[in-house]
Amino acid sequence: MTWQTGLLGFAAGLLISLITSPVGVSGAVFLLPVQLSVLHVPSPAVTPTNLLFNIVSGPGALMRYRRFGLFGPLTRLLLAGTLPGVALGAALRVFAVPGPRVFRLVVVAVLLPLGLWLCLRAHRGPGRERPPPSRRSILALSLAVGTVGGIYGIGGGSLIGPLLAGRGMAMKQLAPAALACTFITSIAGAGTYVLLAMVTPGDVSPLWVMGLLCGTGGLIGGYLGARLQPRLPETRLRQLLGVLATALAVLYLFQAVA
């Protein structure tokens, strides 16, 4: 790896986290295509490298969100689903993962209509709020998101955030819980990949230097982005989350059909 590649990874992590951390998204889901297409991280090593990014970058935003109570009931409920899910996803990624094209099309199908709806809802104003989702619904969603996060190294916040926001959950409650859950889940996922690397040939371990450089940029960007969150109204936070979800869907649609 050249110093130019390392600097590019640092800058990408900083910029992405600055934009995504106010709405509880780690940014790994946007970093994934950068690692594959620009930084040329091999597969499946790109998945644990992305999880390493979450581990290093997570404390930046969490330091700013700690006054909201990071490990409250919502965080514990999310962890009850994502922790077993990420271990399952890591095993599937190494031994029986579907192709990346399938994953991208699923992301498009989920996030494109949801992102557009969040943008439209924010543009029209608050309107009639939907009741918050039940504990059973949150647990089921977090298990599914944890499995996807374990397979693709995206942490899951980019999926659980729009899904729960669309169900009526307040962003100032959701963002800290989603980031705390992503951080702990990423530790479990990266540890699972390290164990699998001991018994599996190929590029299974993370690229440590690249993950640390991207994560250091994300650490700074996440801290700065979390400082902005209390200054943004709920409508603007929902709008930002909708724009991010829509942009991600369009990006993955382009990659799926290219």
Residue 218: the pLDDT is 94
Whole-angstrom distance, CA of residue 105 vs CA of residue 126: 30
Residue with tokens 């990624």: 93
* 204's tokens: 């299974």
Angle of helix 100-124 relative to helix 234-257, nearest 10 degrees?
150
* 140's tokens: 């089921």
Residue 169 three-state SS = coil
Q: What is the 3-state secondary structure (H, E, C) of 91-126?
A: HHHHHCCCCHHHHHHHHHHHHHHHHHHHHHHHHHCC
* 122's tokens: 């924010």
* 136's tokens: 């059973």
Residue 124: the pLDDT is 62
Cα 243 to the center of its chain, rounded Å: 15
Whole-angstrom distance, CA of residue 210 vs CA of residue 17: 16
Residue 14: the pLDDT is 95
Whole-angstrom distance, CA of residue 31 vs CA of residue 154: 9
Cα distances (angstroms) measured from residue 55 to each of 104, 202, 219: 24, 23, 9
- Averaged pLDDT, groups of 10, the chain, 258 residues long: 90 92 81 83 80 90 75 86 84 67 73 80 60 85 84 70 78 83 85 81 80 94 88 82 84 80
